[in-house]
Amino acid sequence: MEIKSVILAAGKGTRMKSETPKVLHKIFDKTLLGYVLDSVKFASEAFVIVGHKAEEVTEYVNENYAFAKTVLQTPQLGTGHAVSMVCPALENFEGLVVILCGDTPLVREETMKNFVAEHIKSGADLTVMSTIFDNPTNYGRIIRSGNGALEKIVEEKDADAGQKAVKEVNAGIYCLNWAKIKPAFSQLTSSNAQGEYYLTDIIEWANRQGLSVQASVLEDSDEIYGINSRENLAIATRLMNQRKLHELMVSGVTIVDPASTWISQDTEIGADTVVYPSTYIEGSNNKIGKRCKIGPFAHLRGDVEVADDVKIGNFVEVKKSKIGAHTNACHLSYIGDSELGSNINIGAGTITANFNPLTRVKSKTVLKDNVKIGSNTVLVAPVTVEEGANVGAGSVITKNVPARALALTRGVLKVIEGWVKG
């Protein structure tokens, strides 16, 4: 069955106190909205409902997600009103519509796939994801009848004391048989405490039509953790990091100190690699091989491909680079826009000068296999050091170095004897 997705992202996010729209805030290098879109990659099309700072969000979506487009909602009259904005585009759509919020970046693609599979298997017309919170304050409460059937969702502000005591809450994720539920969107009213058109009212509507509705309980409630403040953003970042470190450790990577190690989701690390404390690996497309030693105090910034048995030591920053097997960069270096072969030694304090601030052009440094770079070398890109060549310590390399040559730009050492009197 064809699946389309609707992502609600028109709200202002007042509590972020930011010029940036809430859904474009980032965890590691990826936006909150990016994580949510990635969780529904299996959909044939995604509609992102935008309102506040719509242009910025639209630009982001258009640049990064071919399967998604934005739909404008002005003014923002509530979550039900938001979803109704896609009715014209989905007028003749017969498949499933999966709805999520743009500010819950921890939801996993696997969870979304399972949720949709469960919806299909059950034969329901509408499935709501719920979860159990010890402190359910501010969430919509799941109200079930005596036999456990889903009756309705009541928002905090509309709930009586009995309803407020319910700990099962609406996760804000829904799967709808679109053709059956679509008529609800022209019939929602705003007669509630907030004067908004509530998406949650589609449940009572469906019940009144005799359609089949159900709530599916999500066990790991962290996955629907929503971002409303900078505090929430920090907590979500930590949760995402913990999840990643756990996965890596299960797959055979040693993380010496999980409390001080940060690794982005889109980072693969081979077994028996050891990541030492205070290492920060951000960005996407990082692939680190087996038996490597990373850190302490290493900073990998994305598009970093490291083969097996590599050492990246303290205060070494690597960006957009490939590093071959058995190559070492153990201390105080910057390696950017580079291609390093295997069995290379990068001396302490080596810098690839990849950026020309006058032309604003970034260029590449290529070091072939078995190259040895002396300490405190600057490799001014574009530059290539051919196979087996050596560079003497303290050199500034502005030209290509032939294979097996020695390149050296060091001034002649002067020793003045008797300089210190007395």
The distance of closest approach from Cβ of residue 102 to ligand UD1 in the complex, given in angstroms and rounded to an integer, is 5
**185 residue type, one letter:** F
Binding of residue 129 to ligand UD1 (CB under 6 A) = no
- Contact status, residue 211 vs residue 180, Cβ threshold 8 Å: yes
Binding of residue 170 to ligand UD1 (CB under 6 A) = yes
The residue whose two tokens read 């509309």 is 158
Which CB atom, from 35 or from 276, has the smaller least distance to ligand UD1?
A: 35
Which CB atom, from 106 or from 346, has the smaller least distance to ligand UD1?
A: 106
- 361, with CB counted inside 10 A (0-12, 13-18, 19+), is exposed
Which CB atom, from 138 or from 285, has the smaller least distance to ligand UD1?
A: 138
Which CB atom, from 199 or from 407, has the smaller least distance to ligand UD1?
A: 199
Binding of residue 3 to ligand UD1 (CB under 6 A) = no
CA neighbor of 22 nearest in space, from 233, 284, 234: 233
Phi, psi for residue 203 in degrees, rounded to 5:
-70, -50
Question: What letter would DSSP give residue 158?
Answer: G
The distance of closest approach from Cβ of residue 101 to ligand UD1 in the complex, given in angstroms and rounded to an integer, is 4
Closest-by-Cβ residue to ligand UD1 is 140
The residue whose two tokens read 């105090």 is 297
Binding of residue 267 to ligand UD1 (CB under 6 A) = no
- With b for 16 or more beta-carbon neighbours within 10 A and e for fewer, the 31-51 pattern comes to bbbbbbbbbbeebebbbbbbb
For ligand UD1, the binding residues in 4-43 under the rule CB under 6 A are 8-11
Binding of residue 200 to ligand UD1 (CB under 6 A) = yes
Binding of residue 226 to ligand UD1 (CB under 6 A) = yes
For ligand UD1, the binding residues in 297-336 under the rule CB under 6 A are none
- Residue 213: partners with Cβ closer than 8 Å, 6 or more residues away: 124, 125, 126, 127, 128, 149, 150, 203, 206, 207
How many CA atoms lie less than 13 Å away from 177 in the CB half-sphere? Answer: 14
The distance of closest approach from Cβ of residue 197 to ligand UD1 in the complex, given in angstroms and rounded to an integer, is 8
The distance of closest approach from Cβ of residue 181 to ligand UD1 in the complex, given in angstroms and rounded to an integer, is 15
**360 residue type, one letter:** R
- Contact status, residue 414 vs residue 397, Cβ threshold 8 Å: no
Among residues 5, 27, 34, 78, the one that binds ligand UD1 under rule CB under 6 A: 78
For ligand UD1, the binding residues in 134-163 under the rule CB under 6 A are 139-140, 153, 155
Which span (95-103, 229-237, 276-284, 407-415) binds ligand UD1, by CB under 6 A? 95-103
Size of the residue set binding ligand UD1 (CB under 6 A): 26
Binding of residue 128 to ligand UD1 (CB under 6 A) = no
331 is catalytic: yes
- 244, with CB counted inside 10 A (0-12, 13-18, 19+), is buried
Q: What is the DSSP string of 278-346?
A: S-EE-SS-EEE-TT-EE-SS-EE-SSEEE-TT-EEEEEEEEEEEEE-TT-EEEEEEEEEEEEE-SS-EE
Binding of residue 73 to ligand UD1 (CB under 6 A) = yes
Which span (73-81, 183-191, 229-237, 274-282) binds ligand UD1, by CB under 6 A? 73-81
The distance of closest approach from Cβ of residue 192 to ligand UD1 in the complex, given in angstroms and rounded to an integer, is 8
Binding mask 232-261 for ligand UD1 (x = CB under 6 A): ------------------------------
Among residues 6, 32, 49, 307, the one that binds ligand UD1 under rule CB under 6 A: 49
CA neighbor of 11 nearest in space, from 102, 136, 89, 131: 102
Among 52, 246, 326, 331, the one annotated catalytic? 331
The distance of closest approach from Cβ of residue 8 to ligand UD1 in the complex, given in angstroms and rounded to an integer, is 3
Tokens representing 334 are: 């910057």
Q: Which chain residues interact with ligand UD1 by CB under 6 A?
A: 8-11, 49, 73, 76-79, 81-82, 101-103, 139-140, 153, 155, 169-170, 172, 198-200, 226
Q: Which residues are catalytic?
A: 331
